[in-house]
Structure 1
């Protein structure tokens, strides 16, 4: 019985220590950001970059998942996301990276960002136009009138929007990000291929642009291109880095060129 009573106390003490550590990270701005390229498969050029935050390398709060879990449980989610976004925007502009910057925000941060002059304050220091930022709204649980209103206000300011599932907000110009779990070894799975094909068709009908995540196999990339997936990201195309790739490797460009010529020959034959 004593052990059962001690365990919750120890967990609470451990969490308290993590929160103290997180507050120190926020105060000293001890976050770093990396960028993973997203490529337009038809144009074979960079569409933009998704930013990922990192805590100190030797910290139990190194990964984005660890940081966000503790921050949101401690009521510090918006503060963490705002700092990470600010650092990413500064690095994106200073590094003169091409295309658009994709930033994954939680529901509370999206609502906060759409209110008052929050968007101008976030972008103003670096002088980045709203149209160069894409707000990633991920998670099926994210819904509701306040969130939809916030997304509409951000769209009115020319911010791009990205979602992980089709829905009423996936309209002309918005992006549909297809999770890596749907993509891995898709070339070897006819059933999953049919599901992906249907998803791409639905996205296109709603006016969305599709982005495949987690592409690691050239055979998957070739199939995605054949099916009409417009954009992709993943280790095959470029790993997250402070100095990310700005163009496709020759081998990947060759896969896309071969796939396209094959489609053209098939259409002509």
Structure 2
């Protein structure tokens, strides 16, 4: 079935909540009609079991591109990508249609928070590739999992898609928390908010109170064939503003922009513990320990406890394994890596961002007396830039496909 490319795309309209005008389409996949693989969930489950879900993902996207190209689609086309597909090369027989899509379509690639937690380094590479091609990025199902909010800053999506469950529980405290975080992000970045699952006029009104300007759901049409001549779209989608790209290690990113102070390890410990405590309620926590000996059993217990409520907790240092403690992602450094001389604690969530960055000054003697040059920041863009520099070296989660980076053409 996958080898025969027996996948059919269907398309659901996206509309302006203010005017009802068409904004774009989302492409959805269907397996062979009348078979047990017709439903996409069953289709992908079977492909995952066979280790072919990455290839199936390419097949689904290419099928959508082909139909959109044949129809001369001028509206944005939203296309889903499964997390494991980030590291699966494009099959050669699909490369032509993918290249044509890059040249002629306005694609918005949808991803879920699973992509970030499963394989941060590949996700960053794939997101950068989409944007280099002039394509947009959307974060899907925001609100379905409480952890998605903590991961939103790393995707920096152009479109945030509110999960349909939010429209059905508008009075719940959790809904208010999600909506407030999304609205704050959209206001700061210029991103578009899209509400999924709009089925009634009431849903539509609720979606607008949540800040959504675009709606998707049965109120506007069920998934079906793309019109032979697709109409033009209302110009409602604009790219989110990008934070400045800053290269280097966390210390190299933060220290030139914040006051630097020299102190001992013993005096830095309370600051480090304070930042760790900020991650107790769900933000991402990334930390550099220089060497595995500094990731003590007590530290491992604290980090494992935090990991129960966080989508991503990582520990980095010379000699650290990929799984240094339950729920913790690890990354080992070579002795010559610049991070070998840094002690970093970085916390990123929907409502807070903070970083301690410190560089070892090379003292010998008692561990607690070793001196560091350090800086702290709560500037969100700086913290996220520092965090991104660490995400690139974190290994994929167990089960993530490591066949090769995304190569769409």
TM-score normalised to structure 1 length: 0.70
1:1-269 matched pairs, under 5 angstroms:
25-42=1-18, 44-112=20-88, 121-124=96-99, 126=100, 129=103, 132-140=106-114, 142-143=116-117, 144-164=120-140, 165-166=148-149, 167-171=152-156, 174-184=158-168, 186=170, 189=171, 191=173, 194-204=176-186, 205-243=188-226
Return the offset for 1:193: 5.4
SS at match of 2:114: coil
Cα distance, 1:233 vs structure 2: 0.2
Taking a change above 3 Å as real, the CA distance of residues 118 and 170 of structure 1, as seen in their structure-2 partners, is: farther
Partner of 1:266: none
Q: Distance in 2 between matches of 1:119 and 1:31?
A: 13
Which whole-Å CA distance do the structure 2 matches of 1:33 and 1:53 have between them?
5
2:184 and 2:114 map into 1 onto residues whose CA distance is 17
Aligned to 2:316: none
Distance in 1, Cα, partners of 2:138 & 2:71: 23
Gaps of 5+ in 1: 1-24, 248-269
State whether residues 216 and 234 of structure 1, in contact with CA within 8 Å, keep that contact through their aligned partners in structure 2.
yes
Would you say the 8 A contact 1:32–1:55 is kept in 2?
Answer: yes
Distance 2:70 2:108 in 1: 18
In structure 2, the gaps of 5 or more residues are 141-147, 232-409
Partner deviation per Cα, 1:82-115 (whole Å, 9 max, x = no partner): 11111111111222334111111112323446x8
Measure how far apart 1:59 and its partner are. Answer: 0.9
Q: What is the TM-score when the length of structure 2 is the normalising length? A: 0.48
Aligned length: 218
Identify, as 1 or 2, the structure richer in helix. Answer: 1
Counterparts in 2 of 1:200 and 1:142: CA distance versus 1, 3 Å: closer
Q: Root-mean-square deviation (CA), in Å?
A: 3.0
